[in-house]
Amino acid sequence: MNQVKLKDGTNLPVEVLTIEDLPEVKQLQAKVFESLANRAFLQPLEEEDFLNILGGNGVVIGVRSGGRLIAFRAMLDPGEDPEHLAKDARIPKEEWSTVLYSEITNVDPEFQGNGLQRQLGTIVFNEVDTNKYHYICATVAPYNIASIKDKLALGMHIAALSIKYETLTRYIMLKNLKKDVEKAANDTRKVSMGAIDEQQQLLKEGWIGTSIHEDQEGWTVVYQK
């Protein structure tokens, strides 16, 4: 059985959640959303979204402490998503059926700082059926530093910067499960995270975002060819 480890050394088992766990999942999502300083960072899932995932079109793994759900991470098979992230990531249409979404991750504010998001991500990414799925995509808001770092640490990179959910600017992050992305280490550009147009131009020219850094002027994104 997979486990996560808290900073105090406590090991907690990871379980696959079911539709019966939906009330707890919704309750935790609401608690996390209410605690956010910037609620634009999180696009909460609706009940029908969770029902879709828990009903067989993905997986939700979770962790409990003292019988209470304290964290979960969801993966979704998007099917015929009209706003398919594969289009943003320039994945050939014939391969869209091999794309899996890394969806929402929620960690109870009382347990944040234990690396639970990263640990759950490692577990769920490692268990993806790579015979069926060749890519993982995700959306992340610029300046949602914790989430961007999480995706980068899991081997994803910035593939696009688009308007999603009607009005929200989002990085489209991508991981190719079949092969590593080839990068020219000696050809890099540093761009302010707030310079949307400049980043979009680089991405159109074939650059990808591979790391982020903070300096005196704020957060920058490192792009590589």
pTM of the model: 0.91
**What does the pLDDT look like over 187-196, one tens digit per residue?**
899 999 999 9
**What does the pLDDT look like over 176-187, one tens digit per residue?**
998 887 776 678
pLDDT at 70: 98
**What does the pLDDT look like over 90-117, one tens digit per residue?**
999 999 999 999 999 999 999 999 999 9
pLDDT at 179: 85
pLDDT at 22: 96
Quote the CA–CA distance of 142 and 148 in Å, as a whole number: 8
pLDDT at 205: 94
Contact 101, 85 (CB under 8 A): yes
Q: Which domains does the chain have, with CATH numbers?
A: 3-181 (3.40.630.30), 183-225 (no CATH)
User: If you average pLDDT over every residue of the chain, what do you get?
Assistant: 93
Contact 63, 13 (CB under 8 A): yes
